[in-house]
């Protein structure tokens, strides 16, 4: 029997070309594995395409619930945002894909795992770190770092030369990655940061704020221990809340981000991300934490969230550091329970009120009206002590000048 290779298969041109290339260069039986993380109708017709290209088998694995519960929600609880803008849509999908690829490799007794990520991108790092962490014995094949193919036209020609007639053209289009959390766009006019995005041509999940309705929509999101539990008063799974918020948030143009980011491999890249539901969810979670977490924990968690975002972006999900950061984050979420109301209007998210039984906001203390719990006179002694080091330093400088 021939050895088997597991191919991370999307059905696009790159991974379709890889099937005959693997057979020709390694004499493997190719087992295609398409991981469904919520990319919708992109999965249509994959089995016929994979078999026509020479694959011996195709798995289509629905991991949407696992993706949301075990990868997305931890990032929401962390408040993980890469370089102040990117909500990690592609980054946090890669480890769940790598995990399932390894699981199928074990079922099939495969020798290797192959992916179609390019040699310039982040995904090669994320896939391979995940595979190394979970299955260090498996060989990893990355064709884009090996083969001589250099263009879409050459890929199509390669297929024709191997008797594979596929419905792909050489037309240029955006490079996109979609899952339940977001969709990313790269290429075409976006390759030059001096160009404005062509939103009329580009957007998939929503519209630009200019084309949004003139009336806003209010939503309420309830959390239990940092996990989204209900939308507009209706209990739903987290995945269902994200799906519905994508639809709701797309209409007023929520969650469109144009960013030049620093890739793991050292280059800057420009992309546009649409994350309507995720943006709303992150904003709601942040609003709830403002009400519940004490000052020191909130400030320290911000730094932890930034570090967590870096770790996830770099593909280091299956690491002791990520697990340790998660332990801290989870401990902060014990009382992050409550309801957040938000108004969505032309790209803006506007608070409409936050409530929680664990709120640390005390109206008796915070009100301009003097209450029993706060004596204005106490502030004088506090300020004297709090500013003592400043005063001592100023006095010393005065003496030196004199």
Q: Write out the catalytic residue numbers.
A: 14, 94, 123, 175
Q: CA torsion, points 303, 309, 310, 316, in degrees to nearest 10?
A: 120
Give, to the nearest 10 degrees, the angle between helix 295-313 and helix 320-332: 150
- 322: tokens are 């990520």
- 221: tokens are 């999101």
Q: Residue 135 belongs to what H/E stretch?
A: none
Question: What is the rounded CA–CA span in Å between residue 104 and residue 122?
Answer: 23
CA quadruple 150, 151, 154, 159: dihedral positive or negative? positive
Question: What is the rounded CA–CA span in Å between residue 290 and residue 251?
Answer: 27
Residue 32 sits at φ, ψ, to 5 deg, of: -85, 140
Question: What is the rounded CA–CA span in Å between residue 95 and residue 87?
Answer: 15
- 2: tokens are 């021939």
308 CB-contact burial (10 Å; exposed 0-12 / middle 13-18 / buried 19+)? buried
Closest C-alpha to 168, from 147, 184, 153: 153
Nearby residues of 108 by Cβ (< 8 Å), 6 or more positions away: 4, 6, 31, 57
């Amino acid at each position: 029997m021939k050895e088997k290779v597991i191919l991370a298969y999307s059905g696009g041109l790159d991974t379709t070309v890889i099937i005959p290339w693997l057979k020709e260069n390694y004499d493997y039986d190719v087992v295609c594995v398409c991981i469904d993380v919520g990319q919708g109708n992109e999965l249509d017709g994959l089995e016929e395409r994979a078999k026509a290209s020479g694959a011996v088998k195709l798995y289509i694995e629905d991991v949407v619930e696992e993706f949301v519960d075990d990868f997305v929600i931890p990032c929401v609880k962390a408040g993980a945002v890469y370089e102040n803008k990117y909500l990690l849509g592609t980054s946090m999908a890669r480890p769940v894909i790598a995990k399932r690829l390894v699981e199928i490799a074990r079922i099939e007794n495969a020798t290797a795992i192959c992916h179609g990520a390019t040699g310039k991108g982040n995904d090669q790092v994320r896939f391979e770190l995940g595979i190394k962490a979970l299955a260090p014995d498996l060989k990893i094949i990355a064709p884009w770092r090996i083969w001589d193919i250099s263009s879409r036209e050459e890929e199509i020609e390669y297929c024709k030369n191997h008797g594979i007639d596929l419905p792909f053209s050489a037309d240029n289009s955006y490079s996109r990655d979609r899952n339940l959390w977001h969709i990313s766009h790269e290429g075409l006019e976006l390759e030059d940061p001096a160009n404005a995005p062509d939103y009329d041509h580009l957007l998939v999940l929503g519209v630009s704020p200019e084309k949004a309705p003139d009336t806003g929509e209010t939503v309420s999101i309830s959390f239990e221990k940092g996990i989204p539990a209900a939308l507009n008063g209706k209990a739903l799974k987290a995945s269902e809340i994200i799906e519905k918020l994508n639809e709701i948030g797309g209409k007023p143009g929520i969650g469109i981000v144009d960013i030049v980011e620093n890739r793991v491999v050292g280059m800057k890249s420009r992309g546009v991300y649409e994350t309507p539901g995720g943006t709303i969810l992150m904003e709601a979670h942040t609003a709830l934490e403002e009400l519940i977490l004490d000052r020191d924990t909130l400030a320290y968690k911000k730094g932890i969230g930034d570090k967590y975002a870096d770790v996830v972006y770099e593909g280091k999900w299956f690491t002791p550091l990520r697990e340790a950061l998660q332990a801290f984050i989870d401990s902060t979420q014990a009382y992050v329970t409550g309801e957040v109301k938000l108004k969505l209007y032309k790209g803006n998210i506007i608070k409409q009120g936050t409530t929680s039984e664990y709120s640390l906001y005390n109206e008796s203390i915070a009100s301009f009206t003097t209450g029993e719990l706060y004596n204005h006179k106490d502030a004088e002694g506090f300020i004297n002590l709090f500013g003592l080091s400043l005063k001592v330093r100023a006095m010393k400088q005065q003496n030196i000048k004199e």
